[in-house]
Chains A and B, each alone.
Chain A
Amino acid sequence: MSKILRVNMTDLTARYQDVPEKYKLMGARWLTSSIVSDEVEPTCHPLGPTNKLVFAPGIVTGTAAPTSARISVGSKSPLTGTIKESNAGTKFSPMLAKLGIKAVVVEGQPKEGMWYLLEVNKDGARLLPATDLAGKGAYATTDALIGRYGKVGVCCIGPAGEMKMAMAGVCFNDLSDRASRYSGRGGLGAVMGTKGLKAIVVDDKDGPGVTIANQELFGQGCKKLTEALQTHDITKPKGALNTYGTAVLINILNEAGGLPTRNFASGTFEGAPKIAGEAIFEGNKQRLGKELYNHACSPGCIIQCSNTWHNPDGSEQVSCQEYESVWAFGANCGIDDLDVTGELIRISNDLGVDTIESGGTIAVAMEGGLAKFGDGQKAIELMQEIGKGTPLGRILGQGAAFTGRALGVIRVPGVKGQNMPAYSPRAVKGIGVTYMTSTQGADHTIGYTIAPEILSVGGKADPLSPEGKAELSRNFQIATAFLDSTGYCLFIAFAILDIPKGFEGMVQSCAAVLGTNWTADDVTRIGKEILRKERAFNEAAGFTRVDDRPPEFMRYEALPPHNKVWDIPSKALDSVWDF
């Protein structure tokens, strides 16, 4: 029997409640967005006592479904002011699920300066003082808790979250207990900081496990999905992701002219090959004396796309240098050195900040004159400044938009206050439509690649036209909202968009766990429900269509090498929401 854990930080209690009927089929993003919608006042101050922080594993998390160990974290974002969900791959998630916990809702606020640890296991949940952990980086916090409790699931914030910085993320441990898996986007680490919650540990030993309503259907669904993952060129063993990780995209986007370079001033970076997936593979090979393929971030993942970068002496520097992080600190800052990007990522992981927003902030700081583009040493100093909590550090810790305002930089590539990820909208306009119209600010994982035909959602318009791009973005956002609720890693999409049986298997596995009869039509129905709920929250929070727009400079500044400006009409952007 599953339950919801309510943690009240005002009276320092942790108690279980039954799952209300309306939430029974939900998981991950569907559940976090529903609880936030139902219980958080959209106009509340995100750092105030009435905001809530919700953790939820996915529908199939904790079962034998492959690549399904994701956790969603939801709240009202201190960075964007919108509803927010961001997710991570981590053993923390299946451990919660196996204890029968559908969601953890953290509410209220303790006295300023008080820090707590939430301990969750088969016997229950309790809050303990965590004064000894306060001020520690995420690495030291995680190490201390693993030392104390054994190989449990660990969630924590770093100093950035304690200082309530708007780009603070929520850190989870990976399979090797590194502090490296992040619900990074949107400042949810700051919300956790306002709750005085430094860390959560979860131990699923002797837990009841996840109940599966239809074991036979579940087996069939998982088999189809597994086959798809194991045969597709992107997801298979020693395929694109297992060999090169997502950093393979650095060279690809560079050749597409869509790799945002030096604060989105260009779409190509001459130093791209030095920081791409191939360079990471080669560098590790030189330093370790052998080829190193990527590893799984979480239990049950068969894609295994996470890399580890090593120092010249063969010791580990950081996990991981994935596309978005390497790009943010690399091409976007004009830096072409993997040892520098590795150190910047390591500092980010330790401070507990989102690497995408951090890299974007450093790039804006460079444009604002605090460093020259390409100056890796200065970039490292600026990141360290954040950890010191100096006035400059606090400015930077608020993200790229705030930093831009402080420094008089107009060219801030963000939407709704969240900086853009590693695809340049002027070059890849379809992704730009998603950045601008998503419910959560500029976000690349919110509009994923599911072929419209699979979903039978139409796909009537010419993909070259603005209307076609809007339709594509809508379909992707709908499908992604569903996928974000399952607990599956979005990377399964690369296989299941090409292999219909894989998509079928994914839907079947979810239906089988819950005992429903879901088909592709339900994917669309549920995706739309989630998006409508999120949009309604945002509207009540004061957002209008005027917020679904590009940063102005992209309308008049032509981006080399294609020399295009952003010219998708506002009407087309608004049409994304015609459903």
Chain B
Amino acid sequence: MIEIYLYGKLRRFARDQDPTGYSVVHSIVQAGDTIQGVLKRLGIPMEEVGRNIFLNRQYSALTRRVKYGDRLAVFPDNMQLLYSWYFVKVGEDHEVKKDKS
């Protein structure tokens, strides 16, 4: 099982939708599951999901794998980190930029 915390308009996919509390969905995890896979299985439209996804409190890419016991938090597209450039996304490739010469 993993816990998925939903915010904003995505709370409608949880039973408790009180915007002043936590809206949590539990999901089983299948081998090789990614964050994207879990969300799709819950029926969450990917176009409503913003860039702000946190897996175990880490800013994460959709391609990151999940495992049993994880905590996933998902924000909709109209809720965004304002200083996203300071947050390094886990799960994306980080190439050391090549010298311009």
Contact = CB atoms under 8 A, between A and B. Distances in A.
Interface residues of B, number: 32
Given A240-B78, A278-B8, A431-B83, A255 B57 contact: yes
Interface string B49-78: 010101001110000000000000101011
Contacts of B54: 255-257
B97 interface: yes
Contact of B82 (A243, A249, A282, A561): A249
Contact of B86 (A246, A274, A431, A491): A431
Contacts of B5: 255
Contacts of B80: 233-234, 240, 248, 252, 494
B82 to A, nearest CB: 6
Interface in A435-467: 444, 448-449, 451, 458-464
Contact of B77 (A233, A251, A276): A233
Contacts of A255: 5, 52, 54, 57, 73, 75
A273 B21 contact: yes
Nearest to B83: A449
Interface residues of A, number: 48
A233 B50 contact: yes
Given A255-B73, A460-B99, A428 B86 contact: yes
A239 B76 CA distance: 11
Nearest to A253: B81
B57 A562 contact: yes
Nearest to B98: A460
Central interface residue in A239, A267, A278, by most chain B CB within 10 Å: A278
Contacts of A423: 83, 86
Interface in B17-71: 19-22, 50, 52, 54, 57-59
Contacts of B100: 458, 460
Contact of A252 (B20, B58, B79, B85): B79
Nearest to A463: B88
Contacts of A462: 94, 96-97
Contacts of B87: 256, 428, 430
A281 interface: yes
Nearest to A462: B96
A244 B81 CA distance: 12
Interface in A321-356: none
Given A255-B73, A278-B20, 19 more contacts: A238-B78, A240-B80, A249-B82, A251-B79, A252-B52, A256-B81, A274-B20, A277-B79, A278-B7, A281-B19, A423-B83, A423-B86, A431-B83, A431-B86, A444-B83, A448-B83, A463-B88, A494-B82, A561-B57
28 contacts: A233-B78, A233-B80, A240-B79, A240-B80, A243-B78, A244-B78, A248-B79, A249-B81, A251-B7, A251-B75, A252-B80, A255-B5, A255-B73, A256-B81, A257-B54, A268-B57, A273-B19, A274-B21, A281-B19, A423-B83, A428-B83, A428-B87, A449-B86, A462-B94, A463-B88, A464-B88, A472-B85, A561-B57
